[in-house]
Amino acid sequence: MFRRLGIGLGTALLLAACANPAATTGGKVSLVAGFYPLAYAAEQVGGGQVAITTLASPGVEPHDLELTPAQVVQIREADLVIYIPGLQPAVDEAIADVDPSHVIDATAGLTLLPTPGDAESGATATDPHVWLDPLNMSAIGQTVESRLAALNVQGGEAFAARQAIFAAKLGALDSSWKAGTTTCASHDLVVSHEAFGYLANRYGFTQIGLSGISPDAEPDPATLAKVAEFVKAHSVRTIYSEALVDPKVATVLAQETGARTAVLDPIEGMPAGSNATYLTLMEANLAAVTEGQPCP
């Protein structure tokens, strides 16, 4: 009888561990994030209860990430993997082999915008740069909170409390952007890389890009000529380049049109050694826009 009880108890403990993966990682949920903004959201909500691995290294442009065999193993063994479909093809491919119950699609529940140009062409691809809308980041934090709480019920109250703080900070950021951009002289954002569709949509700007969704795409001469004509015709004062990508095209266009250049960071990755965060970079972006548009 006691032997049977021992076997039954051991089986129950094993099943409990399988049902709660955090039980096998020293009480911490192991979470793999595709790139910085998703890791930041998970860190803000999870705190010390979550062990986070970010696939895109500091200083590396995440679109072109190539996974190492070790990273593929990390994806397969993690309690949770959070990613944005279509942003990092290598991650999309690796996640195809992962149990869907361990995967968080960060865009789930968000209102997605079409890829720039697709509305006219009839294509159906969506813009993956959802995190540049602070309210989308808040929703991502809420999704992370609910999934973490399901894995670690005992930590649920702490996850909820941290999510509430995170949401409040993002709400304040959204209010600052709204207040800071209502008086802009121009609402045309000329950018080197069409990453700012959600930011533009939230705060009433029109995005005009030198290149498309991928920052590595070289703009063709016809596109450059068209944008240059637009800049001159609409008296655009500022052309925005970005971190992690060579600004030479934006610089040359500014010189040809008499505009100035400024940095508008898509926050796709963090430079090595940087102490900045998503919040401080979004505040710096607001300062760049209010000066560049300008917004007195």
Q: How far apart are the C-alpha atoms of 127 and 253, rounded to whole Å?
A: 25
Sorting pLDDT into bands at 50, 70 and 90, what band is 214?
Answer: low
Global pTM? Answer: 0.88
Predicted confidence (pLDDT) at residue 1 exceeds the cutoff of 70? no
Predicted confidence (pLDDT) at residue 22 exceeds the cutoff of 60? no
Is residue 33 classed as helix, strand or coil in its secondary structure? strand
Q: Which domains does the chain have, with CATH numbers?
A: 21-176 (3.40.50.1980), 182-292 (3.40.50.1980)
Angle at which helices 36-46 and 134-151 pack, to 10 degrees?
A: 60
pLDDT tens readout for residues 236-257: 999 999 877 788 889 999 999 9
Taking a C-beta distance cutoff of 8 angstroms, is the pair 80, 151 a contact? yes
Is residue 59 classed as helix, strand or coil in its secondary structure? coil
